[in-house]
Amino acid sequence: MLLDQKGQLWDVDEFEREDELEQLVFENYQLIYGDQSLLFGKKIISTMSGTRTIPDAYIVDLEERQWYLVEVELLHHGVYDHIVPQITKQVNASSNPQMKSVLRQSFLTQIQNNKEYLQLFKDAEIPEIQIADVLDGILSKRPRVSIPIDKADPELETWAQSLRYEVEIHEIVRYRNRETDAFMIQLPDIGSAPLIGGDQERSNNEHHALMGKELLLKLVGSGFIQQGEKLWMKHKGKEFSATVTASGQLELPDGTKHSPSLAAIRCTQSISPNRKTSNGLRKWKNDKGETLGEMRMRLFGKDDDSEAA
What are the residue boundaries of the structural domains of the chain, listed by start?
2-202, 212-308
Residue 202 identity (one-letter amino acid): R
Total Cβ atoms within 10 A of residue 127: 10
What pTM was computed for the model? Answer: 0.77
Q: What are the per-10-residue average pLDDT scores of the chain (309 residues)?
A: 83 93 92 89 94 97 93 93 94 94 97 95 92 96 94 90 88 90 78 58 43 82 94 90 94 93 90 81 91 84 38
123: Cβ–Cβ under 8 A, 6 or more apart, which residues? 36, 236, 272
What three-state secondary structure class fits 175? strand
Residue 254 identity (one-letter amino acid): D
Please answer whether residues 256 and 247 qualify as being in contact, where contact means their C-beta atoms are separated by less than 8 angstroms: no
What is the pLDDT, as a whole number, of residue 306? 32
What is the pLDDT, as a whole number, of residue 197? 62
Q: What's the distance, CA 5 to chain centroid?
A: 29
Q: Where are the alpha helices (DSSP H) in 161-234?
A: 205-208, 212-221
242: Cβ–Cβ under 8 A, 6 or more apart, which residues? 230, 231, 232, 233, 250, 251, 252, 263, 267, 284
